[in-house]
Structure 1
Amino acid sequence: MASDLDPGSTIFFNLTIDGESLGVFNGCEGLGSSVEIHQHQEGGNNGFVWSLPSRVTFSNITLTRPLTPDTSKVAAWITSITTGVTRPTAQIAALRADGSVVARWGLIDVLPVSWRGPSLDPNSPSVANEVLEIAHHGFTDAGAA
């Protein structure tokens, strides 16, 4: 039963671009937005200032994971930008260890910003990680979890 699952268990993040999975990541940062507020002082009303929304901005999202065979899918997506910019939709699904979905976020007009491959240094025997940073123009309904 889903309610018996430990909510504190390890979470993984599956990234799909236009329905094609780029694999599972173990770190996801930057899911957020902010609203710029314009302060408007109404003439003759000295005791009140209107706070009006003016622009919504969305932060870049950074996904990290140990190096996997899915790295080639990320490289292919980034390389496709050189032949023309398309802005696909994406979905990030937070998954428990058993594969059940905790939450989903749909993203509009996704664009890769940067990719950093692993540092392969024999003097530093650590996990070879990759980092993918993506930009987007907002959230869309990704369906209920």
Structure 2
Amino acid sequence: MSDQDPGSTIWFSLSIDGDDLGYFNGCEGLSAHVDVEQFQEGGNNGFVWQLPSRVTFSTIRLTRPLTEETVKVAEWISSVQTGISRPTAQIAALRADGSEVAQWGLLDVLPVSWTGPTLDPANPAVATEVLEIAHHGFTD
């Protein structure tokens, strides 16, 4: 048993077909939903079958302070304009010491949106970016 605290994750790394897009400090939307259809069997009034039908996956939002690696995100988004390629992605949750807590493989990834920072000298907040990606499921 590991003596490391599993709740100490502070950042996430993203790679697309092995190309590192950098580290993010926020990740939302790693989820799947299975639609269930009910089937009532004739003659068995005390039981209803629960059968899986469709699996849907939510989009994933990754956030971070603006870094030099934002250029890599812009290049990936620009590549969609010249032809859609559905690469595989890896998101890894990392501890402060860089050790991995968990990793998720994503099939057929597509950038859905990117929001850059609001640069306002009257508001000295941290300049952040948000990348939202869609996928068709998890892989090993």
TM-score by length of 1: 0.92
Tell me how far 1:48 sits from its aligned partner.
1.5
Kindly, what percent of the aligned residue pairs are identical? 74
Tell me how far 1:26 sits from its aligned partner.
0.3
Q: In 1, Cα distance between the equivalents of 2:65 and 2:51?
A: 44
Q: Deviations over 1:100-120 (max 9, x none)?
A: 111100000000000000011
Tell me how far 1:4 sits from its aligned partner.
4.0
Unaligned runs of 5+ in 1: none
Tell me how far 1:47 sits from its aligned partner.
1.9
Q: Which residue of 2 aligns with 1:52?
A: 51
Tell me how far 1:71 sits from its aligned partner.
0.3
Q: Which residue of 2 aligns with 1:111?
A: 110
Q: In 1, Cα distance between the equivalents of 2:40 and 2:8?
A: 49
Q: Which residue of 1 aligns with 2:70?
A: 71
Q: In 2, Cα distance between the equivalents of 1:39 and 1:48?
A: 10
Number of residue pairs matched by the alignment: 140
Q: In 1, Cα distance between the equivalents of 2:7 and 2:41?
A: 49
Q: 1:93 to 1:10 in 2, by over 3 A?
A: closer
Q: In 2, Cα distance between the equivalents of 1:140 and 1:7?
A: 22
What is the identity, as a one-letter code, of the residue corresponding to 2:55?
V
Q: Which residue of 1 aligns with 2:7?
A: 8
SS at match of 1:79: helix
Q: What's the Cα RMSD here?
A: 1.3
Tell me how far 1:14 sits from its aligned partner.
0.4
Tell me how far 1:5 sits from its aligned partner.
3.4
> Do the aligned partners of 2:91 and 2:103 also contact (CA within 8 Å) in 1?
yes
Q: In 2, Cα distance between the equivalents of 1:58 and 1:34?
A: 6
Alignment partner of 1:42 is 2:23: no
Tell me how far 1:44 sits from its aligned partner.
2.1
What is the identity, as a one-letter code, of the residue corresponding to 2:137?
G
